[in-house]
Amino acid sequence: MADARNAERRGKRYDGVVRFLRWSACLLVVACAREGAPTEPSVSVVSRKAPAPVSVKTAPADMATSPGAVHGVVPEGERCARRIEALSSEPALPGAPELEARRAETFARAKADAVLFVRAPSPAKLSRESQERRRLLFEANDPVRALYEAYPALQKRRDVARDLLLTEGYVYAAWPPLAAALSNLVRPEDLFHDEVIYVQRGADVFRALLKQNKLGAWYTALDGPEAGSRVKLLLFDRVAADPSVFAEPLHRDVGKLVATLGFEEMHVRQITKEHVVADLRYGDVLVPSLLAAKGATLSLECEAIPDAGRATVLASRRETLRRGRLLERLRGVIRDQVEEALPFDEPKTEVGQQDGKLRQQWVWAYRYGRSEFDFNEDKYKVFDGKGRPRVPQVCIDFVTDTLERASGSWYRPRGEPRERIAGRLDFAALGIDNERSVESFVEFAKAHPEAFDVVELPDEERVPYARRAEFFAHLAAHRDRYRPGDIVTIYGMRDDEKMHYHSFFVYDADPVTGAPSLVAANAGRPRVRPWEAEMLSAPKRSIRARIRPRLEWLEAVTKLPESPPEPPKALPSSI
């Protein structure tokens, strides 16, 4: 009898795991419907062929070397699967399905914090007058135009501005064009005049101090990674004069989680007050994962790694950690160039087309000890006010300068010998026909497959930005093609009716959809901004090529700090 009971218990346990795995695989198929499956929030991602269902077994001992094990003991896969299955009976929160349905496009059009909402913010507590004002503004035939037209008047009425532009304290919109408009327009000084306000960005909260002079008012961060910088709000930031409102956040910080675990996408199944159940993608493997929520912070509680995908998951995590360290080095150099505000290589006064002429004049002045130089009777500084080299750049210079500076190559500052420090990489010594030409750089990369992986888009995939819906759909559908650290070249007609190349780095991606979100370039001055802002000046241009520096080559040429950098706590708004 005891043997029979034990066999019955084993059978029930096995049946439970099988039911869970069938349900897991079912959720990955668009047309799936299973009687009795729990209701869950809809998170829109571009369709991908789902991996074949595999049995969940005990996580192997070598999982202790994974990032998940570093930040919490990885339990047995079967126990985690049963824990996830048990959680499916708990009440689910609705999420923000309207936002998630257009999430990839939103992140490509607005500088946004990587969060997941447990429910959409609601303006329900507003007065009747404020509710009517919001309705007239956001339900207008063209709400974006209406917002831009209304904003000057709103700047004079901060109380009204808060009611119209913040939703439960959040800079929030689910429609991508309106989200982009809010992220471009809304400034904290237009909403508040308190001496100190508080900004919640992801899981972090920082204080901001009001400053003002005859020209106006602004807020400066008192603490956090941007201490001392002027505060610029991101989409999904929450702002308040009283930090107690942050006690019950409506969002969960996904940015820190992806920096720790290294997954490529998050397919959300269920959100509860204390947990998020999601399939995290590592390469081609989806790992059922249980994430614990403490306020806005998410952490890994357990994961049911399929035995057949274990090696892929481990390899993906190892590569993510390696690439992440290199990527943060590149991002650090990019942030330095943004802070230095290196000028675009375009003369103040031009005779014909003279873009690119200033740099050679700068190099001459630098080498011969000058503090400034002349071009077309205009004067230019060799150093900025802090003594840093003020090197003019065209777009491809920004790309090559970033890689070279990451290797340790760059010009010495004022007060030191006038020389260029020799690092591990110098493109001028590698035989490029014209190192300041985008087209020549692409050809050079193609000729060196040991260093670069190059994808040149066929004509049918070259969607001009003017066809916005198709362009953003292309980015989302080919999200694995455009990863952070990649170099993208675009080509097409500018407003002057001339064909023109441009190049930039992919700076970041949305961790939920995996779609690229921010790019970094010098198009006037170095900046990190959404794809839309980079493409908007020449909407007839389309993506021509993607160049990915190979991991081994990057490791060989990059000068890394002795200790690994900490993952960034939040996306900086100042860049």
Tens digit of each residue's pLDDT (9 = 90 or more) over 216-249: 999 999 998 889 999 999 999 999 999 999 999 9
- Of 320 and 290, the structure prediction assigns the larger pLDDT to 290
> So what's the pLDDT on residue 532?
96
**Residue 65: predicted pLDDT:** 37
- Give the mean pLDDT of 121-145: 88
Site of tokens 């992806």: 258
Q: Are 260 and 291 in contact (CB under 8 A)?
A: no
- The beta strand positions in 394-525, using DSSP E, are 410-411, 420-421, 452-456, 487-493, 499-509, 516-522
Residue 566: pLDDT above 60?
Answer: no
Tokens 């006064």, residue located: 349
Identify the H or E element spanning 188.
none
- Whether the per-residue pLDDT at 55 is higher than 70: the answer is no
Residue 310's pLDDT band, with cuts at 50, 70 and 90, is: confident
pLDDT average, residue stretch 419-425: 96
Q: For residues 203 and 106, what is the distance between their CA atoms, to the nearest angstrom?
A: 21
Nearest to 239 by CA among 194, 273, 298, 274: 194
pLDDT, tens digit, for every residue of 191-211?
A: 999 999 999 999 999 999 999
Q: How far apart are CA 536 and CA 288, in angstroms?
A: 39
> What is the rounded average pLDDT of the residues 81-108?
95
Q: What is the DSSP letter of 566?
A: P
**CA angle, 377 as apex, 371 and 378 as ends, to 5°?**
55
DSSP string for residues in 492-541: EE-TTS-EEEEEEEEEEE-TTT--EEEEEEESSSEEEEEHHHHHTT-TT-
pLDDT single digits (tens) 147-189: 999 999 999 999 999 999 999 999 999 999 999 999 999 999 9
Mean pLDDT, the chain, whole residue set:
86
Look up residue 74 and give its two tokens.
Answer: 């990885």
Residue 253 has pLDDT above 70, yes or no: yes
- DSSP secondary structure string for all residues of 274-298: SEEEEEEEETTEEEEEEEEEETTEE
Give per-residue pLDDT as tens, 515-557. 999 999 999 999 999 999 999 988 999 999 999 999 999 999 9
Task: Select from 370, 348, 368, 367 the least CA-distant residue to 357.
Answer: 348
pLDDT at residue 94, as a whole number: 97
Q: What is the pLDDT of residues 473-519, one digit of tens each?
A: 999 999 999 999 999 999 999 877 889 999 999 999 999 999 999 99
Q: What is the DSSP letter of 219?
A: E
Q: What is the DSSP letter of 230?
A: B
Residues paired with 487 in a beta bridge: 505, 547
* Per-residue confidence (pLDDT) for residue 574, from 0 to 100: 55
- The pLDDT value recorded for residue 313 is 87
Cα-trace Rg, the chain: 26
Amino acid at position 103, single letter: R
Q: Does pLDDT of 300 surpass 80?
A: yes
Residue 109, SS3?
A: helix
Q: Which of 435, 440, 438, 492 is nearest to 463 (CA)?
A: 492
In tens, the pLDDT along 429-459 reads 998 888 899 999 999 999 999 999 999 999 9
Total-model pTM: 0.84
Of 46-55, 56-65, 75-84, 103-112, the range with the highest mean pLDDT is 103-112
At 522, the amino acid letter reads N
At 66, the pLDDT band (50, 70, 90 cuts) reads very low
